[in-house]
Amino acid sequence: MLQMTNVSKVYRTDTVETHALRELSLTVEEGEFVSVTGPSGSGKTTFLNIAGLLEELSSGSYELDGRDISALSDKERSRVRNEKIGFIFQSFNLIPELSIFDNVDVPLRYRGFKAAERKRRIESSLEMVGLASRLQHFPAQLSGGQQQRVAIARALAGEPRFLLADEPTGNLDSHMADSVMQLLAEINATGTTIIMVTHELELASRARRNIFVRDGCLSDGVFEPRLAMASGA
């Protein structure tokens, strides 16, 4: 379970103070599929970065599986992140000089798994995303949708409890985006908790729960640009 209580994030320079999140409170239960929408600059990515232990909060509390994250050292945070959290980004972040197998292998090597265990995880995750026959292909030999599937396999190979996706279909056409969303739904059905940031309202509606961010605050629902314009938000 992920639980944030009155979480704020403030970025400060010598002359400017920017409030990215304002006393945000949210609970995500194990096995949920949550979409996060909202206008640009509303705090969506900051929220995801804090959830993924990539940034520290300024105030409030954050518990992950009952553990107070704010009390952990940088080394402990890194260990929790590597063991519990998988990331999917819009830009795929594949290494072009490495095969698909080796791209998925990189974070597993970092975690110190033995060769046999890494091979099992790599083959299993690539089988799950439908790319078991492309182990020795390189990113340039794959379509955009296939590259995103490799990125998902790389995240799954770590067997995370939480999967955080930042605009995972942003660089894909509608057909490929639909394929990736179907895959995420299948992954969620196995018990993995997913939090997905997206600008696509149709895709957001396919999650089990929708929340939106405005001015650093979260609410249940989906951000509607036309309603925001009508209200002057």
Residue 230 is predicted with a pLDDT of 37
Out of 153-162, 166-175, 223-232, pick the least confident. Answer: 223-232
Q: Is the dihedral of CA 139, 51, 3, 199 positive or negative?
A: negative
Q: Which CATH architecture has domain 2-227?
A: 3-Layer(aba) Sandwich (3.40)
Question: Model confidence at 40, in pLDDT bands (50, 70, 90)?
Answer: confident
Which of 76, 75, 16, 87 has the alpha carbon at shortest distance from 51? 87
Check pLDDT > 70 for residue 224.
no
Q: What is the pTM of this model?
A: 0.90
Which of 154, 110, 103, 106 has the alpha carbon at shortest distance from 128? 154
Check pLDDT > 50 for residue 231.
no
Residue 41 is predicted with a pLDDT of 87
Out of 48-57, 156-165, 212-221, pick the least confident. Answer: 212-221
DSSP string, 167-186: STTTTS-HHHHHHHHHHHHH
Check pLDDT > 50 for residue 199.
yes
pLDDT in tens, 42-85: 999 999 999 999 999 999 999 999 999 988 999 999 999 999 99
Question: Model confidence at 232, in pLDDT bands (50, 70, 90)?
Answer: very low
Check pLDDT > 60 for residue 204.
yes
pLDDT in tens, 82-137: 999 999 998 999 999 999 999 999 999 989 999 999 999 999 999 999 999 999 99
Residue 223 is predicted with a pLDDT of 46
Check pLDDT > 50 for residue 233.
no
DSSP string, 83-133: HHEEEEETT----TTS-HHHHHHHHHHHTT--HHHHHHHHHHHHHHTT-GG
Say which residues have a Cβ less than 8 Å from residue 218's Cβ, sequence separation at least 6.
24, 25, 26, 36, 47, 211, 212
Check pLDDT > 80 for residue 229.
no
